[in-house]
Amino acid sequence: MDSKLLDTADRTRRTILTTVAVGGIGMLAGCLGGDGEGPDPVSLDQGQSCDYCNMRIEMHPGPVGEAFYGGDAPPSLPEDRENGIARFCSSSCTYNYLLENEEQGHEPQIAYGTDYSSVDYELTDDSGTTVISAHLSAEAFAELQDLNFVTNSDVEGAMGSSLIGFTDADDAAAFADEHGGEILTHDDITREVLSGLSA
């Protein structure tokens, strides 16, 4: 066969495969974090409590999260919550809430978590445990599906072992190299992963 025809056929096949792959990723992104369309993140530094465990968010270290349910807010949320926002003191509370409510047919329009690639975080010693700083301003958040999570590292947050998220995959890899753990993406987070987090 003519080499130009082979080259054209190969490019066409690659285009089709790329289109199928991108389409599949788009379908997965619709779960547990919406379709990327929804309200912008808001700061969580006004005395808010976690909608999963009731702890006061600003009193604890580590990654936090929020999800906007709009008109499809789970019944556990107050009816007057603007945009049906649910707020969380940790990444594990975020995902536990999202997964439980997805099983009940409630999926958020959009969900966010702390992006440690966007902040100057600190690690401190808390009675022999290394904890990572909390960042509660709206600018510190990224969509959950954009984060690479370091899990089961030797660094903890509000609820013990945390899912520490980075939009930059190299930042996640460097953190895991220094502090241990494995890297997971948004679509990897399941109930089994959450129950396997070391306390």
Cβ count within 10 A of residue 58: 16
Rounded CA-CA distance 39/86 in Å is 12
Q: Is the pLDDT of residue 69 over 70?
A: yes
Do the domain assignments include residue 36? no
Please, are residues 154 and 166 in contact by the beta-carbon 8 Å criterion?
no
Please, are residues 130 and 154 in contact by the beta-carbon 8 Å criterion?
yes
Do the domain assignments include residue 51? no
What pLDDT is recorded for position 122? 98
Do the domain assignments include residue 82? yes
What pLDDT is recorded for position 31? 53
Average pLDDT, the chain: 86
Rounded CA-CA distance 164/17 in Å is 32
Q: Extract the tokens encoding 101.
A: 């409510």
| Helix/strand/coil percent split, the chain, to 5 | 35, 20, 40
Do the domain assignments include residue 128? yes
Measuring CA to CA, which residue among 133, 157, 141, 136 is closest to residue 45?
A: 136
| Domains held by the chain: number | 1
Do the domain assignments include residue 98? yes
- Burial (0-12, 13-18, 19+ Cβ within 10 Å), 179: middle
Do the domain assignments include residue 20? no
Do the domain assignments include residue 70? yes
149 is in which domain, residue-wise?
57-195
pLDDT digits (tens, 9 = 90+) for 6-51: 444 443 333 333 333 333 333 333 455 555 689 999 999 999 999 9
Rounded CA-CA distance 72/111 in Å is 14
What is the value of pTM for the model shown?
0.82
Please, are residues 111 and 41 in contact by the beta-carbon 8 Å criterion?
no
Distances (CA, A) of 9 to 3, 16, 20, 109, 198: 10, 11, 17, 40, 50
Do the domain assignments include residue 45? no
